[in-house]
Amino acid sequence: MEIKVAFRKPYIFYTISIFIVYLVLAILLSGFYNTIPLIIVYANTVNWLKLGISIILSLLIGVLVSINLVIVYIKYKQRKSCKEGKTLAGIGAVAGLATGVCPLCITGLLPLILSLLGVSFSFASLPFGGIEIQVLAVVILIISLFNLRR
Whole domain around residue 23: which residue ranges?
3-149
More confident residue, 85 or 69: 69
Q: Is 138's pLDDT higher than 70?
A: yes
pLDDT-derived band at 95, boundaries 50, 70, 90: low
- Cβ atoms of 106 and 30 within 8 Å: the answer is yes
- What are the tens digits of pLDDT across the range 108-124? 555 566 566 555 555 66
pTM of the model: 0.72
Number of domains present in the structure of the chain: 1
Out of 86-90, 100-104, 113-117, least confident range: 100-104
Mean pLDDT of the chain: 74
Q: Is 20's pLDDT higher than 90?
A: yes
Q: What is the pLDDT of residue 87?
A: 61
- What are the tens digits of pLDDT across the range 57-67? 889 988 988 88
CA distances from 93 to 12, 53, 66 (A): 19, 18, 9
More confident residue, 122 or 126: 126
